[in-house]
Amino acid sequence: MVGCPAVFADLVGPATAIAGDCEARVGRFWEQGANSWSSLAYVAVAVVLARAVQRNRLPLGAIVLAAAIALEGLGSILFHGTPSDVSLAVHDLALLTIAGHVLGWYLGRFRADTERWSVVGAGIGLVGGGGVWLVERGSTSVVIGLTIAAIVVADLAARRRGLRPVATRGLVVLAVVAGAAWLLGRSESPLCDPESPFQFHAAWHVLSALLLLAWTDRAYSVAGTGHPIRTVRRIIDRTLGGAAWLIVRAFHRSVDVLGRHRLPSHRPVLLVANHGNGFVDPVVVAAVLRRVPRFLAKSTLWDVFPARPLLALVGVLPVYRADDGSDPAVNSRTFRAAWRELALGATVAIFPEGTTGDRSTLDRVRTGAARLALGALPDAPDLVVLPIGLAFESRIETRSRAVVVIGEPIPVTEWFAGWRSDDPARAGATPAALPRDAVVALTAEIRRSLEAISPEFRTVDERELLRAAARVASVDRRRQRPAPFGTVERLARRLAAAPDAARAGVIDAYRTYATRLQLLRLHDDDVLPRRDSRLQFVGAIGALFFLGSIMVTATLVHLPAILLVLVSTGVVRSTATKGTVRLLVGAFSGLATWVVFGLIVADGWGAVLAGATVAFGGAIALATWSVLVRALARVRGFLRARDRAALVPSALDDRAALVAEIERALAVTPVIDERTVEPLPAAAGGHRP
């Protein structure tokens, strides 16, 4: 690559030293390990581009670029592994071919034929540059430098002619960072450490490979040839989705996902969800999707300057609200950006309530979601609106449970079949210009769909009481374990829909039973005959014996982070904000703990290994402590119930009365609309991410 020196000392054998590279040579076949293996990034990019050509996302001419990048990767591997005339030729000639292809593409824009000119440019780079290389091998860096200058001039000329620029801010930043990595990887760099396992030149290989991929994404998007491959965006979305999944699994004991089969594939989706748990809601949505959609969020988040890079990385689109002192007219840019995403078949997510809060029912659904859906129809006629309902057993506890219900997709075109997607009058429509009757009707349909899958209770107090009663009635006595939260939540919502008298009977019966348990200092699990309490206790003690040192060490290492989470959560008073603070503070303090510990105990790759070990130990400690605490609580309850054996029958009578009241309420209550919520067996009818 550029910066891999083309000036050699004498090539006399496989152990020849290379002028300019910082990494020391160790005399084996892979003499420069980091620089050699990092060159595989080029091969990976070449495979991605070849698959994009195969799937018709890129024109056939792009296969020349993919082949040149693959050869560059192979040449770089051999060049840094065991230098020779052959590896040098493959390395430099492939590099000249790539440069010629890129420059030819830029020149082809002026003649509206980028595919042919890019292939011609690649040929000129290979033949012409190869001729120069045969005469003077040290000229490769000079030729590449002149080519880069010509590319910059061509891009500026394209801007002056009104063509869409290729060099975005992100591309420029990536190019600058990659260039800095190349400079720092030189042997004359003040940061050069030949023995270090981390080499800036290896970072240059990875960054320049990503730069080629990002340039291809952008170039063929602005050229209008084929469908944009958006590979960089997809990699980021899926990586962040995996991170969201890990965070959700760390902070929640379980997440039941119901109706996963309703997730549409290979079509644009506008996702709408209820919003009751702050920043936790989008993280859970991303974890369920296993990727990050384009979220719409309030513009005031951008006022927090440190958060801007993260918002840009996630691809969040700002919403300007009058309540925040912003001009709502600016939202037209946001709508157009969201419509472009939907036209490309992406998923856009919005919380139509507009605000978060610990509510007992769905708040007013605003019209923004309907305007997004209707305005996207001209370029995304197969768009569907997908409702998602989120419910959390507790917004305060760290290892609580949650349920995600995926509703029935709403095909926007079918719902408004009379409004043709090819009507020329709709070209360039703005959110304010959309037909009001269609917006109102679709908003009402979105609200109905969300109400069917979101928590719907009269008050927060009633919600907690009915959920507690549902937990009692849903206990799986055969398997002697609590029912999944999805089963509990569905039963609680059905009880909320019961007639007033039946609902009041359930609440009164639960209060009587809960009062009895409080007086006996017992829990519902304690009064039921259980055969596994002692077995679970023995298992927990065994886990503590074998994993005790890991648990204690990991807990002590993470103690500052734990205390920081406890203090920050205790300071916040809003229930809907506690989860957000706990998640953000916990994620960042945990990451800081791993980094600091790694830097203290080791250097180089050893620091990375030490940090990963601490993270793994923390995961083991978190899982083991929670199991141990639950097992100890059950054993303690078992012993208390044995000491109060004469009083337990009265508690069982109250429990039976509660179950009878619940059964009577269900007998006079219609089932929940099966159009949007599938039946849930007693043992977790949904899947878990």
| pLDDT at residue 565, as a whole number | 87
Both structure tokens of 335: 């709508």
Question: Which residues of the chain have a pLDDT value below 70?
Answer: 1-20, 27-30, 137-138, 224-229, 414-433, 476-480, 529-541, 543-544, 547, 604-605, 672-689
Q: Is 409 helix (H, G, I), strand (E, B) or coil?
A: coil
Say how far apart CA 592 and CA 587 lie, in whole Å. 9
| pLDDT at residue 630, as a whole number | 74
| pLDDT at residue 426, as a whole number | 47
**Single-letter amino acid code for the residue at 582:** R
What values do phi and psi take at 612, rounded to 5? -65, -35
Say how far apart CA 3 and CA 41 lie, in whole Å. 16
* 509 DSSP β-pair partners: none
Both structure tokens of 51: 């698959």
* 298 DSSP β-pair partners: 319
- CA 334 to the chain's CA centroid: 21
Query: Among 370, 439, 392, 651, which Cα is nearest to 528's?
Result: 651
CATH superfamily of 252-453: Glycerol-3-phosphate (1)-acyltransferase (3.40.1130.10)
> What is the DSSP pairing of strand 252-258 with strand 410-411?
unpaired
| pLDDT at residue 16, as a whole number | 37
CATH 1.20.1070 fits 33-229, yes or no: yes
| pLDDT at residue 198, as a whole number | 81
Query: Could you tell me where the beta strands, DSSP code E, fall in 293-427?
Result: 294-298, 317-319, 347-350, 384-392, 400-406, 410-411
> Are the beta carbons of 238 and 290 closer than 8 angstroms?
yes
> Are the beta carbons of 399 and 251 closer than 8 angstroms?
yes
| pLDDT at residue 381, as a whole number | 86
> Are the beta carbons of 577 and 585 closer than 8 angstroms?
no
Say how far apart CA 52 and CA 66 lie, in whole Å. 10
> What is the DSSP pairing of strand 384-392 with strand 400-406?
antiparallel
Q: Is 661 helix (H, G, I), strand (E, B) or coil?
A: helix
Say how far apart CA 293 and CA 271 lie, in whole Å. 9
The runs of H, that is alpha helices, within 224-265 are: 231-251
* End-to-end Cα, the chain, rounded Å: 41
What values do phi and psi take at 389, rounded to 5? -105, 130
**Single-letter amino acid code for the residue at 402:** A
Query: Among 518, 525, 506, which Cα is nearest to 466's?
Result: 506
**Single-letter amino acid code for the residue at 136:** E
| pLDDT at residue 459, as a whole number | 92
> What is the DSSP pairing of strand 269-273 with strand 384-392?
parallel
Say how far apart CA 178 and CA 42 lie, in whole Å. 14
Q: Is 19 helix (H, G, I), strand (E, B) or coil?
A: coil
Say how far apart CA 220 and CA 230 lie, in whole Å. 10
Number of helices (H) and strands (E), helices first, in the chain? Answer: 24, 8
Cα distances from 47 to residues 63, 66, 72, 73, 658, in angstroms, run 10, 7, 13, 11, 62
Long-range contacts formed by 551-557: CB under 8 A, 24+ apart: 551/620, 551/621, 551/624, 551/625, 553/617, 554/614, 554/617, 554/618, 554/620, 554/621, 555/621, 555/625, 557/593, 557/597, 557/614, 557/617, 557/618
| pLDDT at residue 27, as a whole number | 64
Residues 6+ apart with CB under 8 A from 294: 315, 316, 317, 338, 341, 346, 347, 348, 349
> Are the beta carbons of 227 and 344 closer than 8 angstroms?
yes
- CA 183 to the chain's CA centroid: 33
**Single-letter amino acid code for the residue at 32:** Q
| Residues 227, 229, 231: CA angle, nearest 5 degrees | 165
- Tally of CB atoms within 10 A around 512: 15
Say how far apart CA 319 and CA 301 lie, in whole Å. 10
Domain boundaries, the chain: 33-229, 252-453, 460-496+498-522, 533-643
Say how far apart CA 439 and CA 455 lie, in whole Å. 25
What values do phi and psi take at 209, rounded to 5? -65, -45
Q: Please state the pTM of the whole predicted model.
A: 0.80
Question: How deeply is 551 buried, as exposed, middle or buried, from its count of CB atoms within 10 A (0-12, 13-18, 19+)?
Answer: buried
| Residues 186, 187, 193: CA angle, nearest 5 degrees | 105
